Amino acid sequence: MAFTRLDLESKIKEFFDLETISPLINNQITKLVRERKYGYRDIARALYFWRFEKGQTLDSRGIAIVPYIMEESNKFFQEKARREKEQLEAIEKKQQEAPHTILCIKPKRRKKESKFIDISLIKDSDSEDGR
C-alpha cells in the first residue's frame, strides 16, 4: 500500500496537533517531493523523528527542517528495523532450539458404580419372629 500525500498531511496534523495544513507546509511538501525527490513516507518519518525522538515542534518555518534531519532520520529507522529483525530472529531461534515438550495425558479412570442396597428388601430378624 502506497503512502500518499493525504496520508502525509494526516500524519503532520496528528504529530503536531494541527487542524489544517498551512499553505506554507503545502508548498514545502510539493518542493520536497519535486526538487529533493523525497517520498511522502520519508517526509512523514523525518517529521515523526523530529517530533517524537528529538522532542521538537514546528515553528514559523513549517517543515523546512526535513532536509536537515533526513539522513539522521533514515539512520534511526534503519537501526530500528535492524533491531526488530534481530529480535524476531532471536525469538525464532529460541523456538527452534527449545526442546520439544511431549505431554503425556493419563486416561481418566472410570469410577466404579456404587451398588445401592434397597433396605426395604432386608428382612428384619425381629419381624420374622412375629414379635
pTM, two decimals, is 0.69
Residues 26 and 20: beta-carbon distance below 8 Å? no
pLDDT-based confidence at residue 126 (cuts at 50, 70, 90): low
Cell of 1: 500500500
Give the angle subtended at the CA of 25 by the CAs of 50 and 57, to the nearest 5°: 30
Mean pLDDT of 80-89: 95
Cell of 75: 539512520
Cell of 5: 500525500
Please report the pLDDT score of residue 30 as a whole number.
97
pLDDT tens for each residue of 14-70: 999 999 999 999 999 999 999 999 999 999 999 999 999 999 999 889 999 999 999
Express the helix, strand and coil content of the chain in percent, nearest 5 each: 60, 0, 40
Residues 6 or more apart whose Cβ sits within 8 Å of residue 50: 56, 65, 66, 69, 73
Distance CA 60, CA 69 (A): 17
Cell of 72: 539522521
**Phi and psi, residue 12, nearest 5°:** -60, -45
Q: What is the DSSP letter of 47?
A: H
pLDDT-based confidence at residue 118 (cuts at 50, 70, 90): confident
Does residue 127 surpass a pLDDT of 60? no
pLDDT-based confidence at residue 101 (cuts at 50, 70, 90): low
Please report the pLDDT score of residue 85 as a whole number.
95
